[in-house]
Structure 1
Amino acid sequence: MFAQAAKAFVKDTDPEGSLIPSSRLHENLNIYSLIYKKPRYWFQTKEKYESLHFTFSNVLNTEGHENTLSGMVITAADEVDWHMTSNNKKNCSVDGKVETALADGEVRLGGNSSTIQEFKIMTKKEAVDLDKFKNFCQNKELDMEHDVIKQASKKQPLKTRPVLGVLTERILTSKPCQFNSSSLMSGSVTGRLQACLKGTFNPSVSANRDNEKWLTIQENTVIAYRLNELKIKPSGKFVVSFTKNQKGGFVNEYEEDGVDCDVQSPPNLNQELQRLSTHFDLLSELKDPLLKILQETIMNNREKVSILENELDLLSENPDLVVPKDWVAVKDIDKLLVGYKNTTRSTIFRAIHLIVSAIDEMKDDCISTLSCSSCEELKTLQFLVHCMAESVESVCLSDPVLAVLTENMFRRAVLLFDQCDVTLRKDGNKLMIEIKNQSGNLPLVLSIAVKGLASLV
């Protein structure tokens, strides 16, 4: 709940995207704290940030210089009252026919869920005077023998190394506050059975479940922070990034200290999906059990998706790691891999991580739609994703693969694609597919999530 609130706060109050939401309640996030920005494992995912137990002062080379930041001015901004309420509704229904030796008829399974989340936070801001900080950093060098620097710089190649940054601004709670999440789930079974011996039986069963969670956080808890990245040379010389276009990282000694625009062109969907196809193929042995775990246990809770993504991130890079007992999200998946060699386990975890990382990038409504999609609906969505990747602008609605595209499913598909910057619309007997301008990575995120889940059918 805390990570959700932090993300919502940053999205609502920082449209430029310069703030980083806190991911855990008790992180070491002080002014001048050193932060690792870990490189993205998958192209479509966001960077991750890891707070360290060192400050900027700890890694400066003090020889011949005064190493103190005590004279830097830290300002506290006025308090801001931020309030948000979200209501996420999800509907699922499955129709089917029953044919037995004694009876035949129709059965309809239905379910509804509604989650209301309320966040109310009083915040204050602490920030470094960047002009004074910039002057302080002139002619300074980093201690390249410090463990933090050595650990980050030893990885090869350069692009896989984490970026080192300094925390120069943070948003904190000014008063204790509470987050509330209330969920109401209901289900029903209705139908009509025509018995061959005695008349007609009309069953109707319903169930409801209410769940409410509260989270209290204390005063001075960091909700979000700003990072100034460091561009570091082998000699220890460095440049602090003060604009959005300046990026940090480890560079060679002769690279210019100028603006480094990190603008990525939109990915080629077809090429990216072909490159990732081996990961989808690898999951064929786990098929139905894994799909059930993802749809019924993980994807019905946004927090579980994020937790599973973090756990799989660690497992995919550490084949010898034994799953800790307190890792709840991954334990059911780990049971499916009993008997696999560690290297095979690691490869499978990496493939599952690909799917889950894409799902974690999606909006709640998209996750709800995919968690409710039947096997036939996933195949239809996969067909639409394939057409999109192949730049097929329209498909005929009479195509057999679109037979399950009922009005209800079409509405859900339109919403799913629209929130991933893709337009679906009917034009006569054709279905038009169009990627919106400046869509970024969202169409790729959609493609990986859909194709990954469909590979488990």
Structure 2
Amino acid sequence: MFATATRNFVEEVDRGGSLIPVSSLNDTISLLTVVIKKKRVWFWQQPKYLPTDFTLNDILTGNTPIQPDTTELPFITYNGTFGGNIKGSAEATFIQSNVNVEGKDTSKLQSLFGSLKKEELTVQKLMTDSKERLLDMSHCLVEQTMMKPKQVFGIVKERIVTTQPCSVIEEVQKEGQLGGMLTVCGPKVKKISLKENASLSKDSNVTMEIPPHTTLAYGLIELEVKHNGHFKLCLMSGVNGGFEEVDGLLGASTAPAQHSERVDLKQVLDELKEHFQVLSALPAQTKSSLFQQITTLISDRALVSSLQNALHHKCHGDDSASAAAHEQQSPDVLDLVAQNGESKDGVVEALHLVLSAVDEMPSECLALLGMCCSRALLPDLERLVQCLVADGTLPLSAVKQTTLEDKLFVGVQHLFSSSRVSLERDGDSLRTKVQQEAGNLPLILCIAVRGLASLSQ
């Protein structure tokens, strides 16, 4: 809840900038706090930031601490409300079966942060004071960080702080109805009938009180560290820090290569197509259960992140104390994966790919994806994604008439627009085009839609 509020805040005030949202109220972040920046598996994922209990002075040699020069300035007054109403119904008719589902979700997250201030270091003085200083290479934090590839030291140079008591309020109402009859017949199988009419209602209202002087977001200066303890401040954007290795290279250079502003969607998706094929090849019952579990949690940012982390731990291993907690929050999905025997590892990696893309979506895009996650609509979304990857043009006849109806089509347009992709009608065709400065958002949308469509078949 707090992590979602701070992420929304950063998306609103500094999208594409240098501010990093604080993910936990338990993190104590001040100026000069040492933060570990951890590169992720997929190049479109934002790095993971792990605040430590140490400041730069704690890991320097010598007994003379650096006394930073700091300034405080009013930032903004911020009160944000996110959420809305989601309504949906679906009816499916099969041979000797009838199923209809109706649902209504209302969710609202209010971030009442009030007046905020910005604290920042005078970087020029920090450069002067740290010029001849050395990191203590025998310090436990330095040693443990150097052992892990793709990890970089950063120090907090600025932070956005609350100035008064404030709150985050989350209100959720969920209503659903399921009704229908399913009949199964076959050779040497008794006739089985299931009739069910059920309804579900769940309301929650949670208020989180946040004290003054709480850090909501912060900015970093990365450190380029030599093996003898000398270090430099990385002041320019695009200049990355890291630890020098024996051959003189920086440890951060082992991170996945970053793609240019305009990603070759076709090339990247071709490289990933085996993962989608793994999901498509799962038994129908397993796919259906996974699809239901994932689409149920997809509108909840915290649950999406938790499941993505759990799949990361399963896929790549992690000795962090939070690994078990993430797995406990996603037992149904992990149990379904565990049932696939020899193919389990491939399924874990494929699901991790899809959830990693979903987790990188901006909040607006994630909410819209949740509204569009139906078995009826996903095939058309996949066709539009294929259109984007190909020549950008798709005949109107290639999608269902219901998809082209005003309200639904506007929702699909908003989904694509929130991923920096324009979707327009042009005569008897649909046209898609990647917008300027789209970054990796179009690719993220393509991966999420293709992955969910693979499970919905």
Q: TM-score, normalised by structure 1?
A: 0.82
1:151-190 counterparts in 2 under 5 A? 151-155=144-148, 160-187=149-176
- Which of 109, 118, 121 does residue 110 from structure 2 map onto? 118
Specify the code of the residue in structure 2 equivalent to 1:405: T
Asked whether 1:68 is paired with 2:68, we answer no
Q: Which residue of 1 aligns with 2:194?
A: none
1:144–1:319 distance in 2 versus 1, CA, 3 Å: closer
C-alpha deviation, 1:364, in angstroms: 3.9
1:218–1:451 distance in 2 versus 1, CA, 3 Å: same
Q: Which residue of 2 aligns with 1:150?
A: 143
Q: Which moved more, 1:108-117 or 1:283-292?
A: 108-117
Contact 1:90 1:368 in 2 (8 A): no
1:15-414 counterparts in 2 under 5 A? 17-62=17-62, 67-69=64-66, 71-78=67-74, 80-96=76-92, 109-121=101-113, 122-155=115-148, 160-187=149-176, 209-251=202-244, 264-283=260-279, 284-285=281-282, 286-296=286-296, 298-318=297-317, 324=324, 327-338=327-338, 345-372=344-371, 373-390=373-390, 392-399=391-398, 402=400, 405-407=403-405, 408-414=407-413
C-alpha deviation, 1:279, in angstroms: 2.1
Q: Which residue of 2 aligns with 1:195?
A: none
1:421–1:132 distance in 2 versus 1, CA, 3 Å: same
C-alpha deviation, 1:136, in angstroms: 0.7
Please give the secondary structure, in 2, of the residue aligned with 1:456: helix
1:370–1:263 distance in 2 versus 1, CA, 3 Å: closer
Contact 1:290 1:333 in 2 (8 A): yes
1:431–1:189 distance in 2 versus 1, CA, 3 Å: same
C-alpha deviation, 1:325, in angstroms: 6.1
* Partner Cα distance (2:64, 2:348) in 1: 45
* Partner Cα distance (1:188, 1:289) in 2: 18
Specify the code of the residue in structure 1 equivalent to 2:362: K
C-alpha deviation, 1:205, in angstroms: 9.8
Q: Which residue of 1 aligns with 2:439?
A: 440
C-alpha deviation, 1:137, in angstroms: 1.2
Q: Which residue of 1 aligns with 2:193?
A: none
Q: Structure 1: which 5+ runs fail to align?
A: 192-203, 257-261
1:75–1:367 distance in 2 versus 1, CA, 3 Å: closer
1:409-424 counterparts in 2 under 5 A? 409-424=408-423
C-alpha deviation, 1:97, in angstroms: 5.0
Specify the code of the residue in structure 2 equivalent to 1:313: H
Contact 1:127 1:169 in 2 (8 A): yes
* Partner Cα distance (1:456, 1:205) in 2: 25
C-alpha deviation, 1:421, in angstroms: 1.2
Please give the secondary structure, in 2, of the residue aligned with 1:405: helix
Contact 1:232 1:239 in 2 (8 A): yes
Q: Which moved more, 1:240-249 or 1:268-277?
A: 240-249
C-alpha deviation, 1:22, in angstroms: 0.1
> Which structure: larger Rg?
1
Q: Which residue of 2 aligns with 1:199?
A: none
Contact 2:107 2:173 in 1 (8 A): yes
Q: How many residues align?
A: 424
C-alpha deviation, 1:344, in angstroms: 6.0
Specify the code of the residue in structure 2 equivalent to 1:81: T
Specify the code of the residue in structure 1 equivalent to 2:64: N
Q: Deviations over 1:159-201 (max 9, x none)?
A: x52111111222222332221112233456899xxxxxxxxxx
Contact 1:319 1:346 in 2 (8 A): no
Contact 1:161 1:250 in 2 (8 A): no
Contact 1:126 1:171 in 2 (8 A): yes
C-alpha deviation, 1:263, in angstroms: 8.1
1:315–1:9 distance in 2 versus 1, CA, 3 Å: same
1:145–1:112 distance in 2 versus 1, CA, 3 Å: same
Q: Which moved more, 1:143-152 or 1:350-359?
A: 143-152
Specify the code of the residue in structure 1 equivalent to 2:106: S
Q: Deviations over 1:407-432 (max 9, x none)?
A: 14322221111111111111121111
Please give the secondary structure, in 1, of the residue aligned with 2:229: coil
Residue identity over aligned pairs, in percent, reads 29
C-alpha deviation, 1:387, in angstroms: 2.0
